């Protein structure tokens, strides 16, 4: 049985790391879970690492977690807008 805490957001292509997880937060509820991954992705043109954030909705199917849906934030401005909205909504 896969443990959600063991699911990493790292990615290798042809033996080369192209995505590395920096941090994550997981919220589990029954057979569904949502995880927020903070990571860096390698730009193949410039060889620079860019920070990104993705929210992933996981579903447990036959003792394994499978990605159901995801939403990416690739721009710091998007992350700031989301942070401000969540802060305003939960303090209201």
Judge contact between 50 and 40, C-beta under 8 A.
yes
Q: In angstroms, what CA-CA distances link 35 with 4, 8, 15, 70?
A: 9, 10, 26, 9
From first to last of its 92 residues, what are the pLDDT tens digits of the chain? 568 878 899 999 999 999 999 999 988 777 899 999 999 999 999 999 999 999 999 999 988 899 999 999 988 899 899 999 999 999 97
What is the structure's pLDDT at 47?
96
Angstrom distance (rounded) from CA 33 to CA 65: 9
Angstrom distance (rounded) from CA 9 to CA 21: 5
Angstrom distance (rounded) from CA 14 to CA 40: 18
What is the structure's pLDDT at 2?
67
User: Which residue ranges make up each domain of the chain?
Assistant: 4-91
């Amino acid at each position: 049985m896969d443990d959600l805490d063991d699911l990493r957001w790292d990615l290798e292509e042809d033996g080369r790391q192209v995505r590395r997880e920096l941090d994550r937060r997981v919220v589990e509820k029954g057979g569904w879970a949502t995880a927020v991954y903070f990571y860096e992705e390698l730009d193949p043109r410039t060889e620079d690492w860019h920070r990104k954030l993705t929210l992933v909705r996981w579903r447990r199917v036959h003792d394994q977690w499978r990605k159901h849906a995801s939403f990416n934030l690739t721009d710091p401005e998007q992350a700031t807008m989301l942070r401000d909205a969540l802060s305003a909504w939960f303090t209201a």
